[in-house]
Amino acid sequence: MQEENLDAAIESLLNVEKQMRLAGDVAGTKKAVTDIVELCYKARAWKTLNDQIVLLSKRRGQLKQAVTAMVQQAMHYIDETPDIDTCIELIKTLNSVSAGKIYVEIERARLIKKLAKIKEEQGLIAEAADLMQEIAVETFGAMAKTEKIAFILEQVRLCLDRQDYVRAQILSRKISPRVFDADASKEKKKPKEGDNVVEEPPADIPSLLELKRIYYELMIRYHSHNDDYLEICRSYKAIYDIPSVKEDPAQWIPVLRKICWFLVLSPHNPMQSSLLNSTLEDKNLSEIPNFRLLLKQLVTMEVIQWTGLWEMYKNEFENEKNMPGGSLGAKAAEDLKLRIIEHNILVVSKYYSRITLKRLADLLCLSLQEAEKHLSDMVVSKSLIAKIDRPMGVVCFQTAKDSNDILNSWAMNLEKLLDLVEKSCHQIHKETMVHKAVLKA
């Protein structure tokens, strides 16, 4: 009996909807379609609800505003469904209705996100990632900036979960890091006439600074796959600069520790040197004196004994597992030793123009073969200029100058010499004039 009453009520509302639609009454049509949807929901007739949504969307000359109102109304009922299958069926129905319609693109993106979440909870991560990749939210003019960023970050996270690192990188490039530096305190400008009205983001969307942290945490996951220590360090530096992190020592101390470790693990280059010096100037580093000493040793042009350094920092290295952000990885200990060897070779190259390979190996606490291998690797990576005379067992750190360079250096030296002679003559002339003036007086 209830079904007959529901069908009769729907039939009468469909007649009302038809009259309003043909008359071009937007408000009346919207009310009629939302009443039909609400009627089905109250009766808990989920199949009828799906059928009516499809039917109403396909009616001839259906108004855009009516479809939008109907989809938005039905979206409120997704969480009220009795079981997961009914929920998926309703989402799929709304998704098919909103597909290809630009006026409900934001609603479709939110529906896909909900469906992807359900798939992920079911353990179908690859399917969830494929669903999310269908939507390109960066083209949605009416979607709020924070919602766009949150959606893209969800796409990146799912790609990382399924270990699709190439697509994760492509998606992450849709977000410019500069967007997180925008001043949120500035008043929003009122939209001009003709501009798209930007919708308010849902309540569950994080703030811009929270999104910044999520973004850089995902970037750390991505760069950890490639062992790109410098980029990991820069990501931690960005997290460290977030005001909420800087205010809480429990948050910034683990992050600053990670910055120090990844700085030490990064290959020597101008950017690494710049970050190293700027970190050393940080007053907060005094709270973790061991790490200040570690960074100080790297900027000091002195040979570091690996065994002594490892004994001193082995416990700190192993303690990193218990700190927020996790351990440094199995490869990190080997890379740390490699960076110390590279530092020592650079120090030796500063003090020596020629050195025997045996003496170099003694300074580095390595065998002849290992010393030669590390030296060759640095030359190949262009971190250092050196030549090895293997029969003689001599390493030369001097750069071979061509004839033009030698002539230019001579010309510069002659210029400096003539400049000095001219200055000296001027001084002699000045002194002579002063003495003559004294004698005359």
Task: Give the model's pLDDT for residue 346.
Answer: 87
pLDDT in tens, 157-167: 888 888 888 88
Tokens of 109: 């993106």
Burial 75-100 (b: 16+ CB within 10 A, else e): bebbeebeeeebbbbbbebbbebbee
Residue 182: pLDDT band (50, 70, 90) is low
Q: What percent of the chain has pLDDT over 90?
A: 2
If you average pLDDT over residues 250-276, what whole number do you get? 85
- Indicate whether 109 pLDDT > 60: yes
pLDDT, tens digit, for every residue of 401-424? 677 877 888 888 888 999 999 999
pLDDT at res. 326: 62
Beta bridge partners of 387: 396
Q: Which residues pair with 388 in a beta bridge?
A: 395
Model confidence, pTM: 0.77
Distance (Å, whole) CA 405 – CA 399: 11
- The residue among 237 and 62 whose pLDDT is bigger is 237
- What are the beta bridge partners of residue 394? 356, 389
In terms of Cβ atoms closer than 10 Å to its own Cβ (0-12, 13-18, 19+), residue 171 is buried
Contact yes or no for 208/180 (Cβ under 8 A): yes
From residue 12, alpha-carbon distances to 9, 35, 68, 285 in Å are: 5, 11, 22, 74
pLDDT in tens, 25-36: 778 888 888 888
Q: Is the pLDDT of residue 425 over 90?
A: yes
- Distance, in Å, from the CA atom of 381 to the CA atom of 347, rounded to the nearest integer, reads 17
What's the topology of domain 352-400? Arc Repressor Mutant, subunit A (1.10.10)
Give the tens place of pLDDT for each residue, 212-226: 888 888 888 888 888
Least confident of 107-111, 174-178, 203-207: 203-207
